[in-house]
Chains A and B, each alone.
Chain A
Amino acid sequence: AQTVTQSQPEMSVQEAETVTLSCTYDTSESDYYLFWYKQPPSRQMILVIRQEAYKQQNATENRFSVNFQKAAKSFSLKISDSQLGDAAMYFCAYRSARGASTPLVFGKGTRLSVIA
């Protein structure tokens, strides 16, 4: 079974600075997808960024980017120019590519605080 590990339960960053959230995963599969979700206090799950394992190029969405290291099974999220609205719980998630839409496997989450 696949597992996802987020080793940082809590992180903090100064407004306008950059922060990196760590995620590692364990799988024997070669084809899969990786995601970062943001959960603000409203509880809504918001997809931040996604990566296909067969793509070597790291995904980027505005201020959010990932560092995908397939051999190391690492998928970290970098948030640049941090804003107060970035304060939230962040979850790393894995999905097998075996089927059209297999369930997600989540890490335990990292709570990010942004200091003004």
Chain B
Amino acid sequence: DAEITQSPRHKITETGRQVTLACHQTWNHNNMFWYRQDLGHGLRLIHYSYGVQDTNKGEVSDGYSVSRSNTEDLPLTLESAASSQTSVYFCASSDSGASSYNEQFFGPGTRLTVL
């Protein structure tokens, strides 16, 4: 069955370190998204991509970067981790097909703690 996976599921790191969170989907979806979830804020958009070599900034993109070298993966990199980036991170993907909804399918999330 097609799925979307994230790794690691939990990570603890130190301030200033570079961290990369992986997202892999086997749906063959063109569109991929990264959101962060914080108490009192819901989910907020970090970056998104509509295809290979395409990336776009979201509402809270400062301190994060993404690159899309193939259809299946959209890794999220924190260049220099800060305590304010302690959060739960969700990756999602969706198709661009004929279905008007083009539902987003979410990964299980990664809990990141920056000490």
Contact = CB atoms under 8 A, between A and B. Distances in A.
Nearest to A43: B109
A104 interface: yes
Secondary structure call for the A interface: loop
A99 B108 CA distance: 26
A107 B94 CA distance: 20
Top 5 A-B pairs ranked by shortest CB distance?
A45-B106, A100-B96, A106-B42, A101-B102, A108-B42
Given A100-B102, A101-B104, A109 B42 contact: yes
Contacts of B44: 106
Given A101-B95, A106-B43, A107-B42, A45 B90 contact: yes
Interface string A57-101: 000000000000000000000000000000000010000010011
A101 B40 contact: no
Interface string A29-72: 00001000000001111010010100000000000000000000
A103 B46 CA distance: 10
Contacts, number: 54
* Interface band, chain B: 20 to 34
Interface of A: 4, 6, 33, 42-45, 47, 50, 52, 91, 97, 100-101, 103-109
Given A91-B43, A103-B33, A109-B42, A43 B100 contact: no
B52 interface: no
Contacts of B58: 103
A101 B31 contact: yes
B45 interface: yes
B103 interface: yes
Given A45-B90, A101-B50, 17 more contacts: A6-B42, A33-B100, A42-B108, A43-B88, A45-B92, A45-B106, A47-B103, A100-B31, A100-B102, A101-B30, A103-B33, A103-B45, A103-B58, A106-B42, A106-B44, A108-B40, A109-B42
